[in-house]
């Protein structure tokens, strides 16, 4: 994992695959402990195709025998967070989706409220994107701020009248013990050093302060059903694939006590299940998602296949409801309190 990313998409030749497999074996030896629970050494698990048409090739994953979390061993190409579905520009239908997205953001605030954190107070959204959640938190009465490493996000937020600090977790200027709440929404799985990130964020929280972490759940039914094409695998961008057990262990190791774990998440779970199932039949993985992100052509053989699967949408909603009751939701939100 110390090898620098090449800057070009991985080649899909037998020689390139063999080189990646050798590198993965080396990386597994060089990676003695699970980044989630820290308990056991990782073992080679499986090789999966890139989840984005712009990031082709095979990627080796290694898994922890204790908590079941996994890591992507092969490095992500340097352009991974600028290319393909992350290429920028407004997705198709984004105007229609805006009120729904705001409702999802408000639900994140209710997770905090239910655990006892209510405005006024200082809230930081870590990996704030274009600042949508910061705006919602301010509207709810929080003294909310955000940090975001990408210039694109910071510029987009400024256009909406929201000033974000352009910084990563490692270099952000946040006063120790200054926050009543922090949110880390589908960010942690993208980081090469999730433990270092949680350690820093825990230090920013005041004693009793709350952190909300949203991540995909590798121990979910949809992860199993989707296999190598599980929508929320998002390889190679996702570096750690957490289980709930792994995430809880990571938080505890850094002085954060999990107080609630939510599996019922309309924002990601029914869509993730449905797309993962449809993805078994389409040529492009998660074709509809990529078509909406303008990252796959609309005129495609995958269009009629996807259209034919639309009647399965209510089935996916009902199924994720059942899986949530069984605590096996496709993504989870964990609320943890600083001791
Ligand atoms: Zn582990």
DSSP string over 3-61: SPP-SSPPP-SHHHHHHHHHHHHHHHHH--S-TTT-SS-EEEEEEEE-SSTTS-SEEEE
**What is the rounded CA–CA span in Å between residue 175 and residue 268?**
32
Tens-place pLDDT, residues 247-275: 999 999 999 999 999 999 988 899 999 99
Tens-place pLDDT, residues 30-43: 556 899 999 888 99
**What is the rounded CA–CA span in Å between residue 90 and residue 4?**
31
What is the pLDDT, as a whole number, of residue 24? 64
Rounded to the nearest whole angstrom, what is the distance from the C-alpha of residue 69 to the centroid of ligand 1? 5
Rounded to the nearest whole angstrom, what is the distance from the C-alpha of residue 245 to the centroid of ligand 1? 8
Rounded to the nearest whole angstrom, what is the distance from the C-alpha of residue 249 to the centroid of ligand 1? 8
Rounded to the nearest whole angstrom, what is the distance from the C-alpha of residue 216 to the centroid of ligand 1? 15
**What is the rounded CA–CA span in Å between residue 43 and residue 24?**
10
Rounded to the nearest whole angstrom, what is the distance from the C-alpha of residue 232 to the centroid of ligand 1? 19
Residue 232: strand, helix, or coil: helix
Rounded to the nearest whole angstrom, what is the distance from the C-alpha of residue 37 to the centroid of ligand 1? 4
Partners of 182 in the β-ladder: 124, 211
Rounded to the nearest whole angstrom, what is the distance from the C-alpha of residue 231 to the centroid of ligand 1? 22
| Residues of the chain with confidence (pLDDT) below 50 | 1-9
Tokens of 39: 């308990």
What is the pLDDT, as a whole number, of residue 2? 42
DSSP string, 179-229: EEEEEEES-GGG-S-HHHHHHHHHHHEEEEEEEEEEEE-TTSHHHHHHGGG
Residue 337: strand, helix, or coil: strand
What is the pLDDT, as a whole number, of residue 6? 42
CB 215 within 8 A of CB 247: yes
What is the pLDDT, as a whole number, of residue 32? 67
What is the pLDDT, as a whole number, of residue 8? 44
What is the pLDDT, as a whole number, of residue 5? 42
Q: pTM, whole model, 2 decimals?
A: 0.88
Tokens of 219: 């121990």
Rounded to the nearest whole angstrom, what is the distance from the C-alpha of residue 203 to the centroid of ligand 1? 23
Q: Where are the alpha helices (DSSP H) in 78-129?
A: 94-114
Rounded to the nearest whole angstrom, what is the distance from the C-alpha of residue 244 to the centroid of ligand 1? 10
Cα angle, residue 135 at apex, residues 134 and 138 outer, rounded to 5°: 85
Tokens of 186: 């589908």
Cα separation values, 130 from 86, 89, 112, 303, 311, Å: 13, 12, 21, 30, 33
Rounded to the nearest whole angstrom, what is the distance from the C-alpha of residue 7 to the centroid of ligand 1? 30
Tens-place pLDDT, residues 194-233: 999 999 999 999 999 999 999 999 999 999 999 999 999 9
**What is the rounded CA–CA span in Å between residue 216 and residue 329?**
9
The edge-to-edge listing of strands for the beta sheet with 256-262 is 165-166, 143-148, 122-126, 179-185, 205-216, 331-338, 256-262
Q: What percent of the chain has pLDDT over 70?
A: 93
Rounded to the nearest whole angstrom, what is the distance from the C-alpha of residue 63 to the centroid of ligand 1? 8
What is the pLDDT, as a whole number, of residue 26? 64
CB 273 within 8 A of CB 316: yes
What is the pLDDT, as a whole number, of residue 31? 59
């Amino acid at each position: 994992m110390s090898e620098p990313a090449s800057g070009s998409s991985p080649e899909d030749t037998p020689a390139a695959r063999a080189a990646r497999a050798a590198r993965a074996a080396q990386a597994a030896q060089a990676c003695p402990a699970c980044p989630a629970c820290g308990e056991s050494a990782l073992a080679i698990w499986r090789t999966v195709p890139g989840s984005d048409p712009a990031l082709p090739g095979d990627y080796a994953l290694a898994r922890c025998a204790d908590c079941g979390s996994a890591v992507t061993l092969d490095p992500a190409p340097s352009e991974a967070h600028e290319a393909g579905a992350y290429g920028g520009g407004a997705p198709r239908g984004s105007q229609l989706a805006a009120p729904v997205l705001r409702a999802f953001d408000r639900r994140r605030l209710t997770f905090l409220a239910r655990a006892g954190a209510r405005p006024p107070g200082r809230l930081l959204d870590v990996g704030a994107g274009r600042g949508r959640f910061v705006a919602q938190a301010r509207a709810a009465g929080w003294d909310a701020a955000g940090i975001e490493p990408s210039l694109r996000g910071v510029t987009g937020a400024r256009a909406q009248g929201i000033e974000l600090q352009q910084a990563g977790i490692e270099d952000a200027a946040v006063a120790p013990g200054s926050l009543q709440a922090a949110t880390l929404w589908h960010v942690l799985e993208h980081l090469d050093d999730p433990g270092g990130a949680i350690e820093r964020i825990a230090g920013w929280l005041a004693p009793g302060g709350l952190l909300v972490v949203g991540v995909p759940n590798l121990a979910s039914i949809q992860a199993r059903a989707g296999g190598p094409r599980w929508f929320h695998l998002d390889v190679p961008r996702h570096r750690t694939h957490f289980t709930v057990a792994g995430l809880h262990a990571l938080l505890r190791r850094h002085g954060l006590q999990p107080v609630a774990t939510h599996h019922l998440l309309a924002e990601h779970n029914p869509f993730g299940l449905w797309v993962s199932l449809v993805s078994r039949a389409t040529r492009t993985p998660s074709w509809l998602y990529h078509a909406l992100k303008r990252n796959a052509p609309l005129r495609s053989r995958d269009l009629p296949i996807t259209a034919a699967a639309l009647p399965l949408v209510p089935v996916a909603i009902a199924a994720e409801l059942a899986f949530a009751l069984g605590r096996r939701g496709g993504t989870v939100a964990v609320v943890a309190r600083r001791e």
